[in-house]
Amino acid sequence: MGEMEVPADAYYGASTQRAVLNFPISGQPMPHRFIRALGMVKRAAAQTNRDLGLLPRRRARAIAAAAQEVIDGKLDDQFPIDVYQTGSATSTNTNANEVIANRATEILGGERGSKLVHPNDHVNLGQSSNDVIPTAIQLASAMAVQDELVPALERLQRALEAKSKEFWPVIKTGRTHLQDATPIRLGQEFKGYAGQIEESIRRARSAVDELSRIPLGGTAVGTGLNSHPQYARIVAARLAKATRVVVKETTNHFHAQATLDVLVAAHGALRTIGTSLWKIGSDIRLMGTGPIAGLGELRLPETQPGSSIMPGKVNPVIVESMLMVIARVYGNDTVVLVAGQAGSIFELNVMMPVAGQAILESITLLAAATRNFSERCVEGLQATDRGPELVERSPMLATALNPVIGYDEAGKLAKESMRTGKSIRQLARARGVSEKQLNRVLDLGKMTKPGLEGPGGGG
What pLDDT score was predicted for residue 24?
98
- pLDDT score of 309 more than 80: no
Query: pLDDT tier at 456 (50, 70, 90 boundaries)?
Result: very low
Q: What is the pTM of this model?
A: 0.94
More confident residue, 364 or 182: 364
Average pLDDT over residues 81-92: 98
What pLDDT score was predicted for residue 457?
45
What pLDDT score was predicted for residue 161?
98
Average pLDDT over residues 102-127: 97
Q: Where does residue 312 rank: exposed (0-12), middle (13-18), buried (19+ CB within 10 A)? A: exposed
How do residues 148-203 score in pLDDT, each as one tens digit? 999 999 999 999 999 999 999 999 999 999 999 889 999 999 999 999 999 999 99
More confident residue, 188 or 423: 188
How far the first Cα of the chain sits from its last, in Å, is 71
- pLDDT score of 452 more than 70: no
DSSP state of 105: H
Average pLDDT over residues 35-51: 98
What pLDDT score was predicted for residue 453?
55
Average pLDDT over residues 419-444: 89
What pLDDT score was predicted for residue 42?
98
User: Are 81 and 25 contacting, i.e. CB atoms less than 8 angstroms apart?
Assistant: no
For 22-139, strand residue ranges (E) read none
Handedness of CA 371, 372, 375, 381 (dihedral sign): negative
What pLDDT score was predicted for residue 206?
98
| Least confident stretch, 58-67, 163-172, 289-298 | 289-298
Q: Of all residues in the chain, what percent carry a pLDDT higher than 90?
A: 83
Query: pLDDT tier at 459 (50, 70, 90 boundaries)?
Result: low
DSSP state of 29: B
What pLDDT score was predicted for residue 311?
76
More confident residue, 228 or 403: 228
What pLDDT score was predicted for residue 305?
85
- pLDDT averaged over every residue in the chain: 95
| Least confident stretch, 133-137, 167-171, 232-236, 443-447 | 443-447
Average pLDDT over residues 299-311: 84
Average pLDDT over residues 56-67: 98
238-269 core/surface letters (b: 16 or more CB in 10 A; e: else)? bbbeebebebbbbeebeebbbbbebbbebbbb
Active site residues: 177, 307
The torsion of the CA quartet 281, 286, 288, 292, rounded to 10 degrees, works out to 160
Q: What are phi and psi of 180, to 5 degrees?
A: -60, 140
Report in angstroms the alpha-carbon separations of 309 from 291, 292, 313, 314, 357: 18, 19, 9, 12, 40
Q: What are the structural domains of the chain?
A: 14-125 (1.10.275.10), 143-171+187-216+257-383 (1.20.200.10), 394-448 (1.10.40.30)
Report in angstroms the alpha-carbon separations of 255 from 222, 271, 289, 310: 8, 24, 50, 59
Average pLDDT over residues 374-403: 91
CA distance 393 to 387: 10
